[in-house]
Copies of this chain bind each other. A is one copy, B any other.
Amino acid sequence: MLGVEDRTLEISPDMIKPVQVNENLKLVSMSFLLQSPDLPVIWRGPMKMKVIQQFLGDVDWGELDWLIIDSPPGTGDEPLSVAQLIPATGAIIVTTPQDVSVLDSRKAVVFALKLNLKILGIIENMGGMVCPHCGKRIDLFKVGGGEKAARELNVPFLGRIPIDPQIVISGDEGKPFAVGQPYSEASRAFREIVDKILNDHRH
């Protein structure tokens, strides 16, 4: 999604150099360590914990404003390892609006609380769309579920990102949507969410 799938990590005996995506963004990912994009990572938890530990401890990150860890869905080994390995500022929970997804996001909130992770808030993704042909609103996965969960669980609601087919296309082309289409409703939503997090957690 960032257009860097051909890049590789430079690994020296004592440091891993992250891939420089642009002036403001460095990245490490398991995918840089695989020989083919088709190869799955068939690892049980302890192996996953080891590589997360390496990515946190052995990567030459330099000075960072923020370290963002994008975890797979759920409350499994990956977020558990992160929470146990570093003193994280907090967790951001992303959900789609329908009940069955909101239920998982409620579990994620309890998960974070149990691990003494501060909850920065809930983001509702895919919250409604506008038909590109007739311009009318379609609430594909319903709307408002993330906001309701945030209220009920007494954690901040960070914002709602609408569905936009261009997000899918931009992602597949490796061009971040918020950069390529800065004036779209979804990009505005992204920016408002980021501003809210930065304002609440300046350091």
Given the known inter-chain contacts A38-B106, A44-B77, A111-B42, please indicate yes or no for A172 contacting B131, CB distance below 8 A: no
Instruction: Give chain B residues whose Cβ lies under 8 Å from the Cβ of A142.
Output: 168-169, 172
Instruction: Give chain B residues whose Cβ lies under 8 Å from the Cβ of A158.
Output: none
Chain B nearest Cβ from A93, distance in angstroms: 11
Instruction: Give chain B residues whose Cβ lies under 8 Å from the Cβ of A165.
Output: 138-141
B110 touches A40 (CB 8 A): yes
Interface-forming stretch among A11-19, A62-70, A96-104, A191-199? A96-104
Instruction: Give chain B residues whose Cβ lies under 8 Å from the Cβ of A111.
Output: 40, 42
A40 touches B103 (CB 8 A): no
Instruction: Give chain B residues whose Cβ lies under 8 Å from the Cβ of A133.
Output: 131, 134, 136, 138
Instruction: Give chain B residues whose Cβ lies under 8 Å from the Cβ of A42.
Output: 75, 80, 111, 114-115
A169 CA to B97 CA in the complex, in Å?
Answer: 11
What is the chain B residue whose CB lies nearest that of A49?
Answer: B44
Q: Find A1's partner among B40, B100, B109 (CB 8 Å cutoff).
A: B100
What is the chain B residue whose CB lies nearest that of A173?
Answer: B99
Asked if A182 is at the interface (CB within 8 A of a chain B CB), the reply is no
Instruction: Give chain B residues whose Cβ lies under 8 Å from the Cβ of A46.
Output: 44-45
Asked if A87 is at the interface (CB within 8 A of a chain B CB), the reply is no
Asked if A179 is at the interface (CB within 8 A of a chain B CB), the reply is no
Across the A-B interface, the 9 shortest Cβ-Cβ residue pairs: A45-B45, A134-B134, A40-B107, A40-B75, A99-B172, A40-B111, A133-B136, A44-B45, A131-B131
